């Protein structure tokens, strides 16, 4: 998998920075306000350190390797691993695998 991979999608694909995303389940689709977003990211992709004040952010890595900073902890994750960035805790990540990374994020709202 890399950024030249053309993902199959039954929905709209959008670019968010250097990341290609597909909204798999919108928070507008249910009363629980849960969203599931699929991401295809290139090597080195890293968002700025940021905080979610109202919701946890769950990451499920499908392919590749990523290094997460969650508060003061640094965690490495690879395919089939899931981790949580709790609300109120600053977090970021960096795609470590040269071929890129493919993951799902699940949030509330």
Query: Cα separation of 107 and 38, whole Å?
Result: 12
**Mean pLDDT confidence for 76-87:** 97
Instruction: Identify the weakest region by mean pLDDT among 15-24, 61-70, 93-102.
Output: 15-24
Is residue 1 pLDDT above 90, yes or no? no
Could you confirm whether domain 13-108 is CATH 2.60.120.10?
Answer: yes
Is residue 8 pLDDT above 80, yes or no? no
Query: Cα separation of 77 and 28, whole Å?
Result: 30
Split at pLDDT 50, 70, 90, the class of 7 is: low
The predicted structure's pLDDT at residue 2: 46
Query: Domain limits of the chain?
Result: 13-108
**Mean pLDDT confidence for 19-44:** 89
CB 79 within 8 A of CB 63: yes
């Amino acid at each position: 998998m890399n950024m030249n991979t053309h993902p199959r999608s039954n929905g709209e694909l959008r670019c968010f920075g250097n990341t290609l995303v597909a909204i798999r389940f919108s928070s507008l689709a249910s009363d629980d306000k849960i969203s599931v977003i699929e991401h295809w990211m290139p090597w080195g992709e890293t968002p700025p350190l940021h905080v979610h004040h109202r919701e946890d952010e769950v990451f499920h890595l499908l392919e590749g390797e990523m290094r997460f900073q969650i508060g003061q902890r640094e965690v490495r994750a690879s395919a089939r691993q899931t981790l949580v960035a709790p609300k109120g805790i600053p977090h970021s990540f960096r795609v470590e695998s040269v071929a890129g990374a493919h993951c799902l994020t699940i949030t509330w709202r």
